[in-house]
Chains A and B, each alone.
Chain A
Amino acid sequence: MTRTVAVTGLGVVSALGGNVDALAAGLLEGRCGIAPLRLFRHRGRANVAAEVPEELPGHDVALDPATTRRLSRADRFALAAADEACHDAGLDASLRRSAALYAGATTAGMRETEEAYRRRRAGEDRRFRVSHMLATPLSTPAAVVSQALGVFGPRGTFSTACSSSALAIMAGAEAITHGRARVVLAVGSDQLCRLTYAGFDALQALDPEPCRPFDRERRGLSLGEGAAVLVLEDAEHARARGARVRALVAGWGTSTDAHHVTAPHPEGAGARRALEAALAVGRVPAQAVGYVNAHGSGTRHNDEAEIAVLRAVFGERLPLVPISSTKSQVGHCLAAAGAIEAVATVVALERGVLPPTVNLRAPEPDWRDLDFVPRAGRRASLAVAVTSSSGFGGHNVTLVLARPGAL
């Protein structure tokens, strides 16, 4: 019998707040978490970002004091989200012990390393200290979560730029369908740092104002930070232990553009193959899809290629399929984006709320027939949705998520 992949727990940290309820409220209200950059000084074109508020709720997981003292922001985001997700799923110590953990990361504790370098240059520290470098490896957030929560199963960290945690979810779903794991923690976590901020700004990829995906005047993306964790579980296993199934991961697909180091393929050839593969894996006809949580970065190239793909796959029905970009609210959280947007999509299915595209004033003239859910969230009953992520270097991942019993 084919195994079905259930989502039984959710956790999230973003500019909209430190838990799933805060995200859900922010989606419905259409709050924008993008504001002036405060974490570090940057001299360039852009100066806004979606920072996680300082008063972020803590987590009550057990870690030794020395490790706790050295955690990076990316580690703390991941821990808070994992703690929420494990509580939500009702995973006790024995279920966590046998779980697998797949994570996505692009810079992990880079900001702490940058700070160590700054202190050394400013003469505040006489030498580089090993403790300030321990958060640098991309595998650290996954290591910290597994240590804190006692997760002893298979573990891996993917770094495929902005699709990293979408790929982690896909790896988790495959581990379950192939019988390699019954419970998987899929983790995405990234924090703002100078490297990515200055890098994206130098590429002229940042909108000087809060990003405006799909708007005719969009000028680029806004960077964000945060983490999300989804507890994935063999649906039979979830049923047997009486866990609440919040959604199903019904399909997944990945592809590579093999086109350019930063630009997407102009017609979105790779993104289209990922979307078609995800629908095929889930045996989901395109007409069953009721909502698209787009990659929607807000760059001219991405949005154009993405709408071209959606037009090709959904055809004349596309105006009836709401499309929105959660990045307009929480910024582009890089490795965390795929998981945060998967959580937003599960919230949409479960609570019947279409997440909006905020900051959208006037869409591209050619896209006026499309429904971008402008300004605020909208009540709607949804059965099946897709969420897409595309990363630098042409890494595409699409996930199909469904309400339990919808397929």
Chain B
Amino acid sequence: MDAGALRTEVKELLATGLRLELAPSDIPDESPIFGDGLGLDSIDALELVVLVEEKFHVSIPDEEVGRQAFASVSALVQFILSERAR
């Protein structure tokens, strides 16, 4: 799967998995996933880790990895691609 298709899937997972009142296409590529932009909190973070691990078969074992992976949609796409390449 190329990065563009993966990006679309990640945004769909965010919007539908967390039941956001946002269209996937309205989620920006480069802003932080957590923080003010999408209105997500620590409970959403717990759930998003599980959703991403299940959907993309990757592992987010600790906070440090999570911080890098969830820095933005683009960072999450890169993280999934690099995990899959290992």
User: Does B3 make an interface contact (CB < 8 A)?
Assistant: no
Determine whether the beta carbon of A69 is less than 8 Å from that of B46: no
B65-85 Cβ-contact flags toward A at 8 Å (1 or 0) = 000000000000000000000
Bound Cα distance from A127 to B21, whole angstroms: 22
- Can you spell out 23 A-B residue pairs with CB atoms less than 8 angstroms apart? A64-B39, A64-B41, A65-B39, A66-B39, A66-B40, A66-B41, A66-B43, A66-B44, A67-B41, A69-B18, A69-B20, A69-B21, A69-B39, A70-B43, A126-B54, A127-B50, A129-B47, A130-B43, A130-B46, A130-B47, A131-B43, A131-B44, A131-B47
Determine whether the beta carbon of A134 is less than 8 Å from that of B41: no
In whole Å, how far is B57's beta carbon from the nearest beta carbon of chain A? Answer: 13
**A interface bracket (residues with beta carbon within 8 Å of B):** 10 to 19
Across-interface contacts of A131 in B (CB, < 8 A): 43-44, 47
Bound Cα distance from A362 to B39, whole angstroms: 56
Across-interface contacts of A64 in B (CB, < 8 A): 39, 41
Q: Which residue of A lies closest to B19 (CB)?
A: A69
Determine whether the beta carbon of A134 is less than 8 Å from that of B39: no
5 residue pairs, one from A and one from B, having the closest CB atoms: A65-B39, A66-B41, A131-B43, A66-B39, A66-B44
Q: Which residue of A lies closest to B55 (CB)?
A: A126
In whole Å, how far is A10's beta carbon from the nearest beta carbon of chain B? Answer: 31
In whole Å, how far is B26's beta carbon from the nearest beta carbon of chain A? Answer: 14
Across-interface contacts of A66 in B (CB, < 8 A): 39-41, 43-44
Across-interface contacts of B40 in A (CB, < 8 A): 66
**B interface bracket (residues with beta carbon within 8 Å of A):** 10 to 19
Across-interface contacts of A69 in B (CB, < 8 A): 18-21, 39
- Residues of B near any A CB (own CB < 8 A): 18-21, 39-41, 43-44, 46-47, 50, 54
Across-interface contacts of A134 in B (CB, < 8 A): 43
Across-interface contacts of B20 in A (CB, < 8 A): 69
In whole Å, how far is A327's beta carbon from the nearest beta carbon of chain B? Answer: 35
In whole Å, how far is B55's beta carbon from the nearest beta carbon of chain A? Answer: 10
A48-86 Cβ-contact flags toward B at 8 Å (1 or 0) = 000000000000000011110110000000000000000
Bound Cα distance from A129 to B46, whole angstroms: 10
Across-interface contacts of A65 in B (CB, < 8 A): 39
Across-interface contacts of A130 in B (CB, < 8 A): 43, 46-47
Across-interface contacts of A70 in B (CB, < 8 A): 43
Bound Cα distance from A64 to B35, whole angstroms: 12
Across-interface contacts of B19 in A (CB, < 8 A): 69
Q: Which of A65, A70, A126, A127 has the most CB of B within 10 A?
A: A65
Across-interface contacts of A126 in B (CB, < 8 A): 54
In whole Å, how far is A343's beta carbon from the nearest beta carbon of chain B? Answer: 32
Across-interface contacts of B43 in A (CB, < 8 A): 66, 70, 130-131, 134
In whole Å, how far is B59's beta carbon from the nearest beta carbon of chain A? Answer: 17
Across-interface contacts of B21 in A (CB, < 8 A): 69
In whole Å, how far is A377's beta carbon from the nearest beta carbon of chain B? Answer: 40
Per the 8 Å Cβ criterion, residues 107-147 of A in contact with B are 126-127, 129-131, 134
- 12 new A-B contacts at CB < 8 Å, known A64-B41, A66-B39, A66-B40: A64-B39, A65-B39, A66-B41, A66-B43, A66-B44, A67-B41, A69-B20, A70-B43, A126-B54, A129-B47, A130-B46, A131-B43
Q: Which of A70, A131, A134 has the most CB of B within 10 A?
A: A131
Q: Which residue of A lies closest to B43 (CB)?
A: A131
In whole Å, how far is B19's beta carbon from the nearest beta carbon of chain A? Answer: 6
Bound Cα distance from A186 to B19, whole angstroms: 32
Bound Cα distance from A67 to B44, whole angstroms: 10
In whole Å, how far is B13's beta carbon from the nearest beta carbon of chain A? Answer: 13
Bound Cα distance from A129 to B18, whole angstroms: 10
Bound Cα distance from A58 to B18, whole angstroms: 22
Across-interface contacts of B54 in A (CB, < 8 A): 126
Bound Cα distance from A127 to B44, whole angstroms: 15
In whole Å, how far is A124's beta carbon from the nearest beta carbon of chain B? Answer: 11
A258-291 Cβ-contact flags toward B at 8 Å (1 or 0) = 0000000000000000000000000000000000
